[in-house]
Structure 1
């Protein structure tokens, strides 16, 4: 929790209302300057049966999101771990459905669909992998291509995967810390997909870490990308060479969802060796290929026109 007092009340209420009873809840206050912790305590008063299973811990100084996740992991005792960010919220049957799926299929990792939530409406984000029997390597390929997101917050993961393989979130490198899910997938044997949207990723928090952009944040992304690629290379050798080029393209793609020419130029500066793989990634649709090729040819006026026409006008009117 960091600067989420406008959102954490709903988040906590949805968590305490979960239909799954055997859950421990760990709230990590990352030295937030607001009333986030007190709001959680107030909501908890309405759920007295949950009190023995709730911990609220506070960092004495702001350490960042990866450190907060690691603090939670160090305190957790459950068989599975689920992360929920303090400005988002979860359907009340989400944990039970994910848990049941994990038990039925003896899965190490279960992921589901999610909602991109705006003020007045939501967009359903499907994660359908198109594969029935998934293992960790197949999931990694889907993540690298962009077909399945490596977001941390729509996945139920066996705690032993963290412990047995010493996998933690990258302290001090918050942008792109979700890439830790790729490492977890690398040590996962059985993966299951639940075709239901259970998580609401809220787009209203202007203080959200992912909405901030600075040279420091870009350095953090590069660090996490390079660490992830190095890990995959060491573990799988040449098996994922093409997939890793898809990953680089997906990492820099957000630079083109902008009206800023500086951002377009950054796209050209980052991982230029991956540009020749634009047509090879089966997860890219026509529009995604179009703006990348326009950027590669430095036809920035086309990208800016796409941004205002599609992102600002079409999506801006539908999702707000």
Structure 2
């Protein structure tokens, strides 16, 4: 531990988040863990985010001594910003925080202690999905080994989000793993590579991270050609990496992974998205009913899409969006 100047390096990319940055930075400055450095990356943000960042830092003079603001001359995107932070980091562990989210004050302390006590390369925790004033507690599964965790991620049982995980910096460095600069959609798949290289992993069943859903209540997202291209790029990179380490051992799980990747196409009332689902990774469709880690209704939804019963997919989404999320849960 003493070989590292900091226990944890927190990396925070910043772009167009002036409505959220103050809350995010305040939650980071008030962490209970000592020896933390904070690396903020100004990804050529066009708004007042950096002004607001500096204003918050001025209220925490002791913490601000361990803060750096790195600047991109032009906008390079989220993966490149994460890499800039990684290359500058000096901590034993890395934590990535998105600048429109916020965290609980004991997050780093408890996750770091868990990492030390279990000698873990990666520690993950539960998290909150925040819709305005409402939140859902998102429970994450626990695994006895990195290999089982990797299988759980590929099968869709556990999320591969980067922001609820504390990851040993040497895992990035020694395996030459960085985020896919220029390919933002699906960039969190980098975490899958890290799990493939990890020895010990550990789970902490407390929720610390508040992931803010920007478009509250919306169960669809806009897909452009760039998004689709980036997503395919990252899926291919992930598949190649897994095969390079495990040969054909995880082929079934890679099929489950591809089904999970294209599942969001079915969370829509747009029939063109259903047809897009039908064009992607058809070789994986035969595994729909085999993946027991996803819920039955998801398997049914995908099976009906495979059989081109798009009326069922549409009706499912109407019921979920209008009745369950809006009326029962109150997400609008």
TM-score (norm 2): 0.92
1:56 aligned counterpart, secondary structure = strand
Equivalent residue number for residue 165 of structure 2: 155
Which residue of 2 is the match for residue 52 of structure 1? 65
CA contact (8 A) 1:295 1:303 kept: yes
**Greater than 6 Å deviation, 4+ residue runs:** none
Instruction: Provide the C-alpha distance between the structure 2 equivalents of 1:98 and 1:212, rounded to a whole number of angstroms.
Output: 34
What is aligned with 1:15?
28
Please say if 1:180 is aligned against 2:190: yes
Is 2:289 aligned against 1:284?
A: no
Rounded Cα–Cα distance in structure 2 between residues aligned with 1:10 and 1:76: 23
1:50 deviation in Å? Answer: 0.6
- Select 1:107's aligned residue among 108, 120, 140: 120
Secondary structure of the residue aligned to 1:265 is helix
Distance 1:262 1:211 in 2: 13
Q: 1:319 to 1:201 in 2, by over 3 A?
A: farther
Where does residue 11 of structure 2 map in the other structure? none
String of CA shifts for 1:16-38, please: whole Å, max 9, x gaps: 00011210000111101001111
SS in 2 for 1:247: helix
| Cα contact 1:122–1:319 (8 A) shared by 2 | no
Q: Sort the Cα spacing of 1:195 and 1:125 in 2 relative to 1 into closer, same or farther, 3 A.
A: same
Q: Per-residue displacement from partner, 1:187-235 (whole Å, max 9, x unpaired)?
A: 10000000111111101269xxx95520111000000000100111111
Deviation of 1:6 (Å): 0.4
User: Tell me, which stretches of 5 or more residues in structure 1 are unaligned?
Assistant: none
2:318 is aligned with 1:305: no
Q: How many residues align?
A: 314
The answer to whether 1:271 aligns with 2:284 is: no
Q: SS at 1:157's partner residue?
A: strand
Is 1:4 the counterpart of 2:17? The answer is: yes
Name the structure with the higher strand share: 2
The CA RMSD over aligned residues, in Å, is 1.3
The answer to whether the aligner puts 1:256 opposite 2:266 as a matched pair is yes
Distance in structure 1 (CA, Å) of the matches to 2:215 and 2:326? 17
Cα distance, 1:319 vs structure 2: 4.8
Within the candidate set 47, 62, 68, 1:34 is matched to 47
